[in-house]
Amino acid sequence: MSLRSEQNKKKNNPLLQACLILVLVLSACLPDIPGRESTPVPISAATATKPPIPVTERPVYSPGELVEYTVQSGDTLANLSNRFNTTIEEILNENPVIPADATTLPPGLPMQIPIYYEALWGSQFQILPNCSFVNGPAQIDFDIESFMQSQPGWFKYFEQFAAEEQRSGAEIITYISTSFSISPKLLLAILEYQLNALSDPIPPDDLLDGYPLGYRSSGYHGLYIQLVWAANILNQGYYGWQGNHLDTLEFMDRTIEHPDPWQNSATVALQYYFSHLEPKAVYSHTIRADGFLKTYQELFGDPWVCEPHIPGSLRQPQMTLPFKGGETWAFTGGPHTGWGQGDPWAALDFAPPQCCNRL
């Protein structure tokens, strides 16, 4: 790693999910992520103990009580039934306009959902919309290099050997956001929130050999691999909430909470990420309007202006493989993540038949 210029001197049924996002690439999986061992992100005690912005507490609902819900991008009957602790059949009975074979639901659709109360629901406040989480249409015109050069912080001078070559900070963000399909704006906002990377010209001392984002584990030292870990954890939160296999956040003090049933995937992803790094008091500040969202808004404006990126009524097209007709390939690996581990599933592995005939 080097600092150029004068600063040197100072991503329902998991198989359905796999089909929807399937990308035929050879696996380049990173090492398994061990159990958490981390230090809190430095936020002053005075800031962390400010009274929170009031949010009305959810009532204790009667079993099967109907609640109002507006469909968010990527919602399905399966994940709504899981979040509200009900069944698909009960949802369909109360919303006859929805066909039984519905896939993704149209964003903005008003619904009534039978709810069954579960204790320890978390914050209702939504930090980011899903369209500001993914590296999708809302990010097309964003010039990472130009934006970074317009900022006074140290990250525009940063370089590190990453993914088999020396890369600048902008190239690292581009590589990670492309590999993990996470918004580069989100990654930059995390760097600013935790490390003042875009506003402070003086870099931290541990960018190369320390744990600058706070995740402490053997093999995860240096800013690049810390960002890889962050992207992987964010995707686990995002697709875990969409895919019904993440319903609990565990904090550093081993207390738990369940994401609010009305929450969206992007917010749960950020809750999941910061729950790995921050004590509960600091975390409670981070997920408020004057926490991480404030940093994002100061950098990029209102994140809620983007359009939903997943339309309603998606249908899986016929899957075709990029092989010549009559050609035989060996199927060597089932659905798995394209990069990192866990979620989202994005790859199948194939190999030419010659490789297996020699075995």
Q: Which is it for the CA torsion 2, 4, 8, 10, positive or negative?
A: negative
CB proximity list for 250: less than 8 A, separation 6 or greater: 256, 275
| Tens-place pLDDT, residues 197-244 | 999 999 999 999 999 999 999 999 999 999 999 999 999 999 999 988
121 burial level (CB within 10 Å; 0-12, 13-18, 19+): middle
The pLDDT of residue 94: 97
Strand 110-115 relative to strand 65-70, pairing: antiparallel
Average pLDDT, the chain: 83
The pLDDT tens digits of the residues spanning 33-88 come to 333 333 333 333 333 333 444 456 788 899 999 999 999 999 999 999 999 999 99
Domains with residue ranges and CATH for the chain: 2-52+124-305 (no CATH), 65-115 (3.10.350.10)
Q: How far apart (Å, rounded) are the C-alpha atoms in residues 202 and 155?
A: 9
Question: Which residues, including other chains, have CB under 8 Å from residue 318's CB and lie 6 or more apart?
Answer: none
Q: Does residue 265 surpass a pLDDT of 80?
A: yes
The pLDDT assigned to 2 comes to: 42
Q: Rounded to 5 degrees, what are φ and ψ at 76? A: -130, 165
User: How is the beta sheet containing 158-162 ordered, strand by strand?
Assistant: 2-3, 158-162, 165-168
Does residue 260 register a pLDDT over 90?
Answer: yes
What is the CB neighbour count within 10 angstroms for residue 22? 16
Using CA of residue 127, residue 132, residue 135, residue 136, what is the dihedral sign? positive
DSSP string, 74-102: T-BHHHHHHHTT--HHHHHHH-TTS-TT-
Task: Please give the average per-residue pLDDT across 279-287, as a whole number.
Answer: 96
Give the pLDDT of residue 161.
95
Residue 145 scores a pLDDT above 80 = yes
Sign of CA dihedral 270, 180, 129, 66: negative
Q: How confident is the model at residue 316 (pLDDT cuts 50, 70, 90)?
A: confident
Side chain identity at residue 37, one-letter code? E
Output the pLDDT for position 62.
94
CA distances for 154 relative to 191, 203, 257, angstroms = 11, 6, 36
Quote the DSSP letter at residue 208.
Answer: T
CA distance 97 to 51: 43
The answer to whether residues 106 and 312 touch, using CB atoms and an 8 Å cutoff, is: yes
DSSP state, residue 26 = -
Neighbours of 77 (CB within 10 A): 22
